Amino acid sequence: MNTITAEVPFSKNELRYRLIEPNIISSAECATLISLLEKYGEVGDGYKGNAHPHTPNETFGGYSLSGHGPHQHEPEHILCLQVMNRIRLQTKKHFKLPFLWLDFGHLVFREATPVDASADTEEYSHPWHKDNQSAHVKHRTHTGILYINEGFEGGLTRFQETEFGPFREVTPEPGKLVTFDVDKNPHSVSKLHSGKRYVLNLWFSTRLRIYKNHRKIFRPL
What CA–CA distance (Å, rounded) separates 133 from 140?
Answer: 9
CA atoms within 13 A on the CB side of 138: 3
pLDDT in tens, the chain (221 residues): 665 445 666 677 777 889 999 999 999 999 999 999 999 999 999 999 999 998 888 999 999 987 666 788 899 999 999 999 999 999 999 999 999 999 999 999 999 987 655 455 667 888 899 999 899 899 999 999 999 999 999 999 999 865 556 788 888 999 999 999 999 999 999 999 999 999 999 999 999 877 777 665 555 54
Residue of 196, 51, 191 whose CA lies nearest to 117: 191
Domains (ranges, CATH) in the chain? Answer: 18-212 (2.60.120.620)
Burial class (CB within 10 angstroms; exposed 0-12, middle 13-18, buried 19+) of 162 = exposed
CB 112 within 8 A of CB 178: no
DSSP sequence for the chain? -----PPPPPPTTGGGTEEEETTSS-HHHHHHHHHHHHHH-EETTTTTT-S-SS-TTEEEEEEEE-S-STTTTSHHHHHHHHHHHHHHHHHHHHTT-S--EEEEEEEEEEEE----GGG----EEEEEE-TT-SGGGTT--EEEEEE-----EE--EEEE-SSSSSEEEE---TT-EEEEESTT--EEEE-EEESEEEEEEEEEE--HHHHHTS--S----
What CA–CA distance (Å, rounded) separates 154 from 140?
Answer: 27
Query: Structure pTM?
Result: 0.89
State how far the alpha carbon of 59 is from the alpha carbons of 127, 155, 158, in Å. 15, 13, 20
CB 33 within 8 A of CB 76: yes
